């Protein structure tokens, strides 16, 4: 198990069992000691159980970002009830550290297996991580990100003056 995955597992277990938050990340790699957006996903028996993240960092380092988002994934994902103590042994964790996004002007610049997408329209923003099961085309990836943002997909897309699309890569740890 990668050290950042062990860290988020420990953070979730400590929070769910005792209501305490880890504040010491221990020694981290250079990548995790720097600032970055981080998504933490929890799965139970292969099914999504929570996924929360930040596109831009809100803490001092990616390690703290991972702890914060791991606890939020377990307790604040609006799609699920909070994780219970009984579920902890069945939980699998993945941590995605986001690389800086870059603006694209064409769907041909996207590959859903390699790049995640961020769709922005005025104050609305939707994100979809790369390499998600069942998402095979850039069109589908952008459509889902738009839905998540509450953006009406008809007539919107890269090149439209009110819609911007960014791609990003992640370093995924499991």
Question: Are 120 and 40 members of one domain?
Answer: no
- pLDDT value of residue 23: 86
- pLDDT value of residue 81: 97
- pLDDT value of residue 157: 54
Task: Locate the DSSP E strands across the chain.
Answer: 38-44, 47-53, 91-98, 102-104, 116-121, 124-128, 164-168, 170-173
pLDDT band with cut points at 50, 70 and 90 for residue 158: low
Residue that terminates a domain, selected from 72, 98, 124: 98
Question: Are 83 and 107 members of one domain?
Answer: no
What residues have CB less than 8 Å from 8, skipping those under 6 apart? Answer: 40, 66, 67, 70, 93, 95
Question: Are 139 and 78 members of one domain?
Answer: no
Count of domains observed in the chain = 2
pLDDT of residue 24 exceeding 90, the answer is no
Question: Are 94 and 109 members of one domain?
Answer: no
- pLDDT value of residue 86: 97
Q: Span 48-72, mean pLDDT?
A: 95
Q: Domain span at residue 22? A: 3-98
Question: Are 83 and 133 members of one domain?
Answer: no
pLDDT band with cut points at 50, 70 and 90 for residue 30: confident
pTM summary value: 0.90
Question: Are 17 and 89 members of one domain?
Answer: yes
Q: Span 70-89, mean pLDDT?
A: 97
Query: Higher-confidence residue: 30 or 38?
Result: 38
State pLDDT tens for residues 106-150: 999 999 999 999 999 999 999 999 999 999 999 999 999 999 999
């Amino acid at each position: 198990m990668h050290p950042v995955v062990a860290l988020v597992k420990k953070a979730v277990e400590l929070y769910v069992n005792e209501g305490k938050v880890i504040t010491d990340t221990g020694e981290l790699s250079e990548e995790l000691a720097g600032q970055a957006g981080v998504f933490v996903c929890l799965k139970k028996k292969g099914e999504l159980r929570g996924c929360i993240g930040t596109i831009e960092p809100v803490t001092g380092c990616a390690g703290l970002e991972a702890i914060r988002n791991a606890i939020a994934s377990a307790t604040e994902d609006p799609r699920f009830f909070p994780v219970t103590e009984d579920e902890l042994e069945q939980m699998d964790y993945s941590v995605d550290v986001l690389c800086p996004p870059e603006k694209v002007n064409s769907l041909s610049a996207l590959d859903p297996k390699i790049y995640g997408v961020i769709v922005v329209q005025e104050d609305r923003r939707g994100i979809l991580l790369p390499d998600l099961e069942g998402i095979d085309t850039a069109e589908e990836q952008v459509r889902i990100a738009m839905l998540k943002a509450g953006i009406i997909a008809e007539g919107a897309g890269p090149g439209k003056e009110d819609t911007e699309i960014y791609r990003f890569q992640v370093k995924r740890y499991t």
